[in-house]
Amino acid sequence: MRTDIEIAQAATLRPIDKIAALLGIADDELEHYGRYKGKLRLEAIAARTPDRGRLVLVTGINPTPAGEGKSTVSVGLADGLTRQGHRAVLCLRQPSLGPVFGVKGGAAGGGYAQVAPMEDINLHFTGDFHAVTSAHALLSAMVDNHLQQGNPLGLDPRRITWKRAVDMNDRALRNIVVGLGGTGNGIPRQDGFMITAASEIMAIFALASERADLEARLARVIVGYTREGTPVRAADLGAAGAMTLLLKDALQPNLVQTLEGTPAFVHAGPFGNIAHGCNSLIATRAGLALGDIVVTEAGFGADLGAEKFFDIKCRVGGLEPAAAVVVATIRALKMHGGVPKSRLGENDPAAVSRGIENLARHVENVRKFRVPPVVALNRFASDTTPEVEAFLEAARALGAPVAVTDCHARGGAGSLELAEIVTGIVEGGEARFAPLYPLDQPLKTKIETVAREIYGADGVDYAPAADKELGRLESIGLRDVPVCMAKTQYSFSDDPTRLGRPTGFRITVREARPSAGAGFVVCETGEIMTMPGLPKRPAAENMSVAADGTIEGLF
């Protein structure tokens, strides 16, 4: 089978105005970025009837190095729904350059279930990530300039919490010192970088409902504290207006297409740990205003992505999801069943059955939000018939509809069974969505609810600094907000080596910090990094541009 990039480069795409026309978008409502990309004007969204479509989430089991393929299944499902005659719309996150050149590769789907133009989406696209990076950098520059110009706000250089950002994996930038070289070069202090996808600006960008809301959220960003403990915000520095200016065009959602011509909004790319790991609220609302069924995805497993989608994004946006597809693969289930990566090629139906316990917990968790789950097996060519049969027997015992999809090899045609099941649930109106917890509870109560109900933990322990910070955050008005749990994606616990469905563990909250503009509190557990590093052999080593300009090695 050809590689993803070979399949994408061989595809015949339709001009973007033809894709827009499928959704009733007029030419003057779309800003063209070349022949196959466009940005939908915000005014065009506001002019439509909001939320006329039905929303379907695609999530998955805890990810493993064996792969799950949520993006691929999302694309395949949208194409399958289109083949059935629905006005389907796909909504996905934008890829970050760091993972693209690191180990993960691109995030445009795979095989014959991709969004296109694949190279553009995985690289600079329409410049949205650069706009977010620039807005973040502007605030960083204004913080240090404020210190240099006399510091009238009394910002304590030792209590500045706002780091810098760049959209690349670079471990050497995690901890740095700025302001060296003499009095004209700033105030020396310890600083560091995070990757752009982890920036609070990206989280704000993904949750803003329109430009005025974007500016109001940017104004609330906390950059640090005075010696007396008073928060200093972007508004105090006069930065919110200029940051909004840098983001005003980027805020318009990007319209592209799948290889089969289904309209797709690919917009925003917040991390699935530090933020909610979903595409922008504006793009989702655009899809709901223009389409009949909207397929969207949440990052990592359902314990992170789906929980944040439900408790943060849906709550902020007033969204009512109609169904949730939980994706699994035979190879990943075998890893959760105790098989090492080196032996995943061996036929092992018993390991599949053991690994189902991880899937079972995710299905149970989706039901806790009163959203009907659907189980989807993303089939690989290496899966054996006994393994698939073992999966079907165990998965059906969970009481949720089950479908096998091979959209990677067959595109929308390989997802018709899944599309039919999803259509039946959506049209049946079974969902009665409700978030997991009310907002008026103390932060610790919300943290412990997520830990017990979603992770299966026996309880939560707090590092002294985190315990103190949670109290302070409540005292400055950040009590009645959602909690954003930053936890390893590989396990229900905060230990990435505990696969399957671990029991008898506690979660340790190591650090708590405000994301006041985004409107939640981040609680870090275990060893969570906001600046990844490159692997020993980065994917970048295999990438190049051929003599005719063709991109090679991108996957």
| Domain identity same for 287 and 329 | yes
* Domains of the chain: total: 3
| Domain identity same for 186 and 100 | no
DSSP state of 372: -
Q: Can you give the CATH number for the domain in which 488 is found? A: 3.10.410.10
Domain boundary among 229, 247, 265: 247
pLDDT of residue 260: 98
User: In this structure, is residue 207 part of a structural domain?
Assistant: yes
User: In this structure, is residue 348 part of a structural domain?
Assistant: yes
User: In this structure, is residue 543 part of a structural domain?
Assistant: no
The CA radius of gyration of the chain, in Å to the nearest whole number, is 23
pTM above 0.85, yes or no: yes
User: In this structure, is residue 273 part of a structural domain?
Assistant: yes
- The CA-based dihedral angle spanning residues 492, 283, 137, 159, taken in that order and rounded to the nearest 10 degrees: -40
User: In this structure, is residue 550 part of a structural domain?
Assistant: no
Of the candidates 333, 360, 328, the residue with the CA atom closest to the CA atom of residue 348: 333
Which residue is it, tokens 């340790």?
A: 508
Which residue is it, tokens 């005025």?
A: 212
pLDDT of residue 104: 67
| Domain identity same for 120 and 133 | no
| Domain identity same for 161 and 185 | yes
CB atoms inside a 10 Å sphere around CB 496 = 14
pLDDT of residue 108: 86
Q: How far apart are CA 26 and CA 254, in angstroms?
A: 15
- pLDDT tens, 74-101? 999 999 999 999 999 999 999 999 989 9
| Domain identity same for 415 and 269 | yes
- pLDDT tens, 396-413? 999 999 999 999 999 999
User: In this structure, is residue 186 part of a structural domain?
Assistant: yes
| Domain identity same for 229 and 255 | no
The secondary structure of 477-521, three-state, reads CCCCCCEEEECCCCCCCCCCCCCCCCCCCCEEEEEEEEECCCCEE
pLDDT of residue 175: 97
| Domain identity same for 214 and 280 | no
Contact 517, 240 (CB under 8 A): no
Contact 554, 543 (CB under 8 A): yes
| Domain identity same for 274 and 412 | yes
Range of the domain at 449: 443-525
| Domain identity same for 280 and 419 | yes
pLDDT of residue 291: 97
Sequence letter at residue 256: V
- Degrees (nearest 5) of the Cα angle 485, 488, 491? 110
Regions of the chain with pLDDT less than 70 = 104-105
| Domain identity same for 167 and 267 | no
| Domain identity same for 217 and 354 | no
| Domain identity same for 234 and 342 | no
User: In this structure, is residue 437 part of a structural domain?
Assistant: no
Q: Can you give the CATH number for the domain in which 231 is found? A: 3.30.1510.10
The dihedral sign for the CA sequence 460, 463, 466, 471: positive
User: In this structure, is residue 555 part of a structural domain?
Assistant: no
pLDDT of residue 123: 94
Domain boundary among 206, 222, 247: 247
CB atoms inside a 10 Å sphere around CB 537 = 9
DSSP state of 305: I
Domain boundary among 247, 264, 285: 247
Q: Can you give the CATH number for the domain in which 20 is found? A: 3.40.50.300
pLDDT of residue 469: 97
Which residue is it, tokens 């954003």?
A: 484
